[in-house]
Amino acid sequence: MNGTALTVFILFFILVTVMGFLAARWRRGDLGHIDEWGLGGRRFGTLITWFLLGGDLYTAYTFIAVPALLYGSGATGFFAVPYTIIVYPFVFLVMPRMWSVAKKHGFVTAADFVKGRFDSHWLALAIAVTGILATLPYIALQLVGMQSVISAMGITGKGFMGELPLIIAFAILAVYTYTSGLRAPAMIAIVKDIMIYLTIIVVVAVVPAKLGGFGHIFSVAQSVLSHRATPGAVILSPKAYLPYATLALGSALALFLYPHSLTGTLSASGRKVVKRNAALLPIYSLVLAFITLMGYMAIADGINTKDTTTVVPLLLLHQLPSWFAGFAFAAIAIGALVPASIMSIAAANLFTRNIYKAYVRLSATPQDEARVAKLSSLVVKVGALLFIILLPKSYAINLQLLGGVWILQTLPAVILGLYTRWLHRHALLLGWAVGMIVGTSMAIANGFKSSIFVLHIGQGGFAAYAAVYALVANLIVAVVFTLIFNAVGANKGADQTQDSDYLASDASA
């Protein structure tokens, strides 16, 4: 056991735990109301929203998995960098419209918007269920990131005692999330992001110099990758261009469809805050590029492990003083707590607004909604914890692969719905169903080993991100059946929104 690293880790964990409980008193509001508990009262300014979204999107699993992918496969692992560059112009154009209409009508979730826009309970239910299913394995993967740093410090074991540190950490998370709602991760995200920035600055300044510079790092990485059983390279081969491009594009389109991303966005105090964050968040993309390079640093450092999730912790322990490794491990662990908290809140909001209130208790008050959302968030966390403890972590990874495929199928209703109501509500539901079936079938055909599917057309094979293929099928079905339903005069339902709702200024909204 690394006593120094563990001591530093525990001290910072205690700090964020105290902050989590104090957050209930920060920017006081009625936490018995779902708008206050689940969206922070929609009052977060530019700086808080920037930290919140950064803590929400750049998770512990990002810190662990992206360098691990680079370590294992080479240049393909860099797809995460261009996709976070692509996503922010998309956010700048689209999310202010979502914020305005959500503020105007009190929408808390994407399914709320879809119900109001298309007047379809079934379509809203499909969006809600998809969001919950895509979120649960995402929470579980945050535990994978936390597990990797806990084990790196020498806390290992089998059975209940081996899992006890993880159980304690998540029990604390559950209590302060229940107490403080979205304010807790918003406050903790400030500390988490500062710690991540400091960690990366030190890693970039110290580790390459100790390993002989980036030139040597890339040279060793190329040599090692090319001699592996499944060869990799530091530069993409031409046959990898389409998979790489579609993976980056599909991931970018999917990112802000996830419930936790939308929750962070809707907590902003105005549409101008959303735009400013779309302009400022690319700073995190630069940090992500340096995080990704840690995979090559690990290769140059001679780290050899079959469990690639341990690559970053092993590199930090080997190259940095124990006390700073403990600081970095705390940053990664806190980087698990922040998004896990937001994800559980987002999933709870979906269940409460679009399942409980829509089908169980139609007359539920905002106070009833807040109470059910708090309890639901506890259930979500316990479920994710049991998932990791009782099942192989490969299950969580496989389901997260499916989560990306599934959540992208909500794009026609949620994103296109912000601009047009031409697509018929029944056609959108059929398109969603086809997209889910196609995407899931492709993942099963791959044995859940890859998100890249080779589509054979004639004598040629085209490898691309399965979610993009599924989205194309989704859109084709939605367009064709819209034409059919419009031709037979099928009822399109009532639209609760008006064109001006999507452009409402901060003051008027």
Rounded to whole angstroms, how far apart are CA atoms 41 and 406?
29
Q: Is the pTM of this model over 0.85?
A: yes
Q: What is the mean pLDDT of the chain?
A: 88
Long-range CB pairs of 458-464, under 8 A, 24+ apart, other chains included: 462/242, 463/239, 463/242, 463/243, 464/242, 464/243, 464/246
Please indicate whether residue 26 or residue 264 has the higher confidence score (pLDDT): 264
Residue 467 has pLDDT above 90, yes or no: yes
User: What letter does residue 42 receive in the DSSP assignment?
Assistant: G
pLDDT of residue 363: 86
Percent of the chain with pLDDT over 70: 95
- Summarised one tens digit per residue, pLDDT across range 330-383 is 888 888 888 888 899 999 999 999 999 999 988 888 888 889 999 999 888 888
Cβ–Cβ contacts within 10 Å for residue 472, how many?
A: 13
Domains of the chain: 3-409 (1.20.1730.10)
Query: Tokens standing for 185?
Result: 């991760």
pLDDT tens, position by position, 129-145: 999 999 888 888 888 77
The secondary structure of 109-144 as a DSSP string is SHHHHHHHHH--HHHHHHHHHHHHHHHHHHHHHHHH
- Top-ranked range on mean pLDDT: pick from 4-18, 176-190, 237-251: 237-251
Structure tokens at 298: 């690990």
d(CA 358, CA 121): 8
Tell whether the model's pLDDT for residue 186 goes beyond 90.
Answer: no
Q: Which pLDDT value is given to residue 394?
A: 64
Which pLDDT score, from 0 to 100, does residue 509 have? 45
> Is a pLDDT exceeding 50 seen at residue 19?
yes
pLDDT-wise least confident of 14-28, 116-130, 259-273, 350-364? 14-28
Say if residue 24's pLDDT is above 70: no
Q: What are phi and psi of 44, to 5 degrees?
A: -80, 130
The CA distance from 333 to 389, in Å, is 17
Burial letters 190-227, b for 16+ CB under 10 A, else e: bbbbebbeebbebbbeebbeebeeeeebbebbbebbee
Contact assessment for residue 397 and residue 446, using Cβ atoms and an 8 Å cutoff: no
CA distance readout (Å), 302 to 39, 44, 46: 46, 45, 42
Report d(CA 51, CA 331) in Å as an integer.
Answer: 14
pLDDT over threshold 60, residue 508: no
User: Tens of pLDDT along 469-483?
Assistant: 999 999 999 999 999
User: Do the beta carbons of residue 245 and residue 462 sit within 8 Å?
Assistant: no
Query: Residue 159: what pLDDT?
Result: 62
Highest mean pLDDT among 33-37, 89-93, 224-228, 474-478: 474-478
Q: What are residue 415's phi and psi, to 5 degrees?
A: -85, -50
Contact 384, 139 (CB under 8 A): yes
- Which residues touch 414 (CB under 8 Å, ≥6 apart)? 110, 113, 114, 127, 257
CB 54 within 8 A of CB 284: yes
| Per-residue pLDDT reduced to its tens digit, 187-218 | 888 888 888 889 999 999 999 999 999 999 99
Closest by CA to 277, choosing from 54, 98, 82, is 54
Tell me which DSSP letter residue 44 carries. Answer: B
Helix, strand, coil percent values for the chain (each to nearest 5): 80, 5, 20
What would the two tokens of residue 42 be? 């929609």
Q: Beta strands 460-465 and 452-457: pairing type?
A: antiparallel
